[in-house]
């Protein structure tokens, strides 16, 4: 019985359970007739968002590439000029050139960081992430309603899944993802700084260093897309689990995509009935429900137990 539920509501649900049993010829356990779809459009919106965010970083970085090249070329020239001197002077000149280059690069990277912070400050990241969270929630609720309707012939209340509990869940996801996305360009810039310093110390050419900076940006962008996919799946998984548990669904059928990208451990779970209270081992000692593992595209298809159903109707 739900908190604050009246006796009339309780009796109505008892009657509904009796009708469902009669409609299903006395069957107590009913397998779902519909496989909920993954919220692809929410994932695409997240990828668009993170691409736009990374584009801001690229524009700022590309603006300063000529200055980075100039600093590196100046350092190389100072080192070359020192070869005309004796050994002691050459050593002193090399250290002087190195110190000068490192100082100039450090100052420049601080300038880049300030400009990135300023550029990102103009981008309303929280509002954009909130929009994606609401879209993911809307799509997940829609698929849950379809699963209930096609299997049990019941239409759920329209506004039930917009309550305080789900609002708090979305708010936490938004907050976590704003923080997560903000770390991406900062980590990317730190890796680029290390790359420039290390490459310069090893004597790499300016052309090769700039090429490595661009390659590093490409890697950061691909990593950002993986974050988008992973986080969309995790929100979908959390909403799905909450919906099913709230409705009295204690078990689900594991359903994967079954393509060559799917993990062997996930493929082996295909079609198995699993309790929400006992997540399965998905490899390396990890226990996860569908969508909770990194980059997992599997879903939890509800198994309805008529005696325990507590649907918002």
pTM of the full structure: 0.83
3-state helix, strand, coil in the chain (%, to 5): 70, 5, 25
Read off the pLDDT of each residue in 94-100 and give the average, rounded to a whole number: 71
* Percent of the chain clearing pLDDT 90 (strictly above): 45
* pLDDT tens digit sequence for 138-147: 999 999 999 9
Domain that holds residue 149: 32-246
Q: How many domains does the chain have?
A: 2
Whether 18 and 166 share a structural domain: no
Q: 133: which residues sit within 8 A by CB, 6+ positions away?
A: 170, 173, 174, 177, 235
Q: Are 303 and 29 in contact (CB under 8 A)?
A: yes
Q: What is the pLDDT of residue 90?
A: 54
Whether 268 and 201 share a structural domain: no
Read off the pLDDT of each residue in 219-240 and give the average, rounded to a whole number: 90
Tokens representing 220?
């950061």
Whether 108 and 2 share a structural domain: no
Q: 48: which residues sit within 8 A by CB, 6+ positions away?
A: none
Q: Are 43 and 228 in contact (CB under 8 A)?
A: yes
Whether 15 and 87 share a structural domain: no
């Amino acid at each position: 019985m739900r908190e604050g539920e009246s006796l009339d509501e309780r009796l109505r649900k008892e009657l509904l359970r009796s009708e469902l049993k009669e409609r299903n010829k006395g069957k107590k356990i009913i397998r779902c007739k519909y496989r909920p779809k993954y919220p692809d459009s929410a994932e695409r919106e997240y990828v668009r968002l993170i691409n736009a965010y990374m584009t801001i970083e690229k524009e700022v970085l590309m603006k300063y590439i000529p200055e980075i090249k100039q600093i590196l070329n100046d350092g190389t020239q100072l080192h070359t000029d020192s070869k005309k001197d004796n050994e002691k002077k050459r050593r002193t000149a090399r250290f002087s050139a190195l110190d000068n280059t490192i100082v100039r690069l450090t100052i420049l990277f601080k300038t880049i960081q300030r400009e990135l912070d300023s550029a990102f400050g103009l981008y309303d990241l929280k509002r954009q992430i909130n929009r994606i969270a609401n879209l993911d929630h809307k799509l997940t609720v829609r698929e849950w309603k379809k699963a209930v309707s096609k299997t049990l012939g019941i239409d759920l209340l329209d506004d039930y899944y917009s309550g305080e509990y789900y609002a708090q869940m979305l708010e936490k996801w938004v907050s976590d993802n704003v923080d997560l996305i903000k770390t991406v360009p900062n980590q990317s810039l730190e890796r680029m700084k290390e790359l420039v310093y290390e490459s310069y110390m090893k004597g790499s050419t300016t052309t090769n260093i700039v090429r490595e900076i661009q390659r590093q940006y490409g890697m950061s962008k691909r990593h950002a897309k993986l974050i988008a996919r992973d986080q969309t799946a995790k929100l979908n998984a959390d909403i799905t689990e909450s919906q099913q548990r709230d409705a009295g669904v204690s078990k689900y059928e594991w359903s994967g995509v079954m393509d060559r990208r799917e993990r062997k451990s996930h493929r082996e779970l295909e079609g198995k009935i699993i309790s929400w209270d006992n997540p399965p081992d998905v490899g390396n000692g990890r226990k996860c429900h569908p969508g909770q593992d990194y980059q997992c595209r599997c879903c939890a298809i509800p198994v309805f137990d008529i005696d325990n159903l507590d649907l918002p109707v």
